[in-house]
Amino acid sequence: MIVALNISLTISPCMMMTHSYKRNPSRISAISLAQPTTSLRRCECYDMYKEVVPFAEAWSWQKSIVEERKKLITIDEDISDSLIVLQHEPVYTLGTASSDNNLNFDVKDSPLPLYQTERGGEVTYHGPGQLVMYPLLNLRYQKMDLHWYLRALEEVVIRVLSSTFSLKASRVEGLTGVWVGDKKLAAIGIRVARWLTYHGLALNVTTDLSPFNRIIPCGIRDRGVGSIKGLLNEHSSTYDDDKLIEIAHESLLNEFCEVFQVDLFQQPVSKIKFQEK
């Protein structure tokens, strides 16, 4: 299970715009994801995709934004969503459904920093070369349906892999995430509080996959993990790591805008750090 909902119950399962990303109306999804709107909702983007940020710092940012947004919802002034994009320093994170049985090490002697979080799901690894997106969306302006939201996040990644890298990506019945063959390239774990989302998705682009050997990723024992770089190398396609990250990042932002029908407005990182205070 990969969802944690905090409404009345818990389920586990510079201000000036520099540029914006807009949804392409000619694109039609294979599943109905976009919700009819008369205008695209504003989404402030804190884009640190080239930076490697400690998990605890990004986690604190998210919680700070959520608490502020809750206040705005109360007075009906929640006028924009947020998106944080970054990479993390090597870290293991645990979800609400995590079990020590999926750790190939003593929890008291973890080889990497280990955090118990409030997101849904099991254990996973974050590290350099993995693009992480934390959408902080008010689902009242999308669809108040957690399963829909999970499928929408998967759709973002599926579109990136198929349209940008010509990789045949798919879902797996009964599981959450995105696979190419039997290799999982994207993990998804979310928390929802008063229909505000946080946590999100992680896509392995040029990630060193060896830290996954110390865990059972997402508690799934009969499938492996993969990366875009690894799969492209299998087809004799070679890319510079930085270029591959850049291409994947651009595609992720564009597909995110299409699926969720938002306009991204770049924000200075100093704003999110100030807001945390």
Nearest to 275 by CA among 61, 125, 54, 88: 61
Q: Tell me the C-alpha distance between 137 and 200, whole Å.
A: 10
Identified catalytic residue from 14, 43, 45, 218: 218
- CA distance readout (Å), 196 to 7, 73, 138, 218, 259: 10, 10, 5, 23, 17
Is 257 one of the catalytic residues? no
Consecutive H or E run containing 254? helix 241-260
Q: Tell me the C-alpha distance between 53 and 129, whole Å.
A: 12
Report whether 135 contacts 260 (CB < 8 A). Answer: yes
| Burial category of 43 from C-beta neighbours within 10 Å (exposed 0-12, middle 13-18, buried 19 and up) | buried
Consecutive H or E run containing 69? helix 55-74
Residues annotated as catalytic (active site), given as ranges: 218
